[in-house]
Amino acid sequence: MHTSVAGLGWGDEGKGKIVDLLCPDFDLVIRYNGGANAGHTVCVADEKFAVHLVPSGVLHPGIVGVIGPGVVVDPLELLGEIDGLAARGVEVADNLKISDRAHVVMPYHKIEDALSEQAASSRERIGTTARGIGPCYADKMRRGGAVRMIDLLKPARLRPRLEANVRFKRAMLKALYGSDGGLEFEAISTDISVAARRLAPYIIDTTSFLAERISAGARLLFEGANGTLLDVDHGTYPYVTSSSTSPAGIAAGAGVPPHLVKRFIGVTKAYATRVGAGPFPTELTDATGERIRVAGHEYGTTTGRPRRCGWFDALAARYSVALSGTTEIALMHLDTLSGFDEVGICTAYRYRGERLETLLADAEALAEVQPVLEMRPGWMGNLREARRFGDLPDAARAYIARIEELLRVRVSIVSVGPDRRQTLVRGESNPEN
């Protein structure tokens, strides 16, 4: 059954581990949104791999990773990632396909991203990763001057377009920010030309490729980047990314029929985290939040920034479940909460004296809400030794049951550590497995 793995929060939920876990049952893993701002961490045979653009599936022999047309590709970052994997014995060759329709993140996009964030007031900063994602998507929508992967295969056409783009960006950046960030056309052209030659073998019409593979009976796994609450249309705007992060983005971002996927796995931590600016109703800015951060090693895969931590937000998660059509949940980092006397679940918000059970569209209003917390008994012990659901402490199982009740979706996977083996898959016939 074609399957989607998507985050239910603000990213960093642990999607890479779930994709890695499921890979043996699939033939292709497809990225359909975002770019190098994503960071998926996978532990294989006691080795840790962090991938940003390359689909997690390439870590498995025989699986093809596909970068769809909805992804924005930084060719220099991608080559660095390919080379880094090769140095560790992971070959990236025929097992990677890049859509010729995907747009290209250029050095001027990253400079624009960084200068824009620096110029914004502290109140207006979004907390971007400065990977050029937003400016690239903006150029895509403006259409004029945008560069796609197919353009890398046509150097005679690409060079004058790049020259015009650099000239325009330098003038624009100087006018807006007083600096062009040191943009040099020849340096950019040389780097892109080298990247184009090396990436040329991977660039194909992935839309037709996927259609052929689907007809041949191949099994597809769609790997979402970021998280549903960062969706440009449905997230906590403007503190969001620039793509459709929920499974709703699969059809357009991968180039497949909307009815294709039937299984939707929503990934969430047993608590909540967020990187960068934006409202975070359950955030803990005290010693408890710091304790969760340290226990969960909560630092960004892409940026290394410390993540903001808080109690599980059932209201926000339920919103994401409904939006994404989640059919089952993978609950991550349950082990991180071991040792707490109490653990909290947010079941509603209070806003200016009113009880709310829906996620507000207004980010400023959402920043004012107070969480209605349900404190539940904690549990002790090292959960990383658990190999069956029945091995978990009673309080941990009761915590999971309460999350299921609030989200109205079954928790089918529970992660109790970073290793593949530290994952509990609950069988339909015997949920204690």
Query: Which of the residues are catalytic?
Result: 12, 40
| Distance between CA atoms of residues 179 and 173, nearest Å | 6
Token pair of 216, please?
Answer: 């041949």
Strand pairing report for 220-223 and 28-31? parallel
| Distance between CA atoms of residues 134 and 140, nearest Å | 10
Neighbour-count burial of 257, counting CB atoms closer than 10 A to its CB (0-12 exposed, 13-18 middle, 19+ buried): exposed
| Distance between CA atoms of residues 51 and 29, nearest Å | 13
3-class secondary structure, 145:
coil
Contacts 24+ apart (CB under 8 A), 216-219: 218/27, 218/28, 219/1, 219/2, 219/25, 219/26, 219/27, 219/28
| Distance between CA atoms of residues 76 and 176, nearest Å | 27
| Distance between CA atoms of residues 291 and 296, nearest Å | 8
Residues near 385 by Cβ (< 8 Å), separated by ≥ 6?
A: 391
Indicate if the alpha-carbon torsion angle 177, 179, 181, 187 is positive or negative: positive
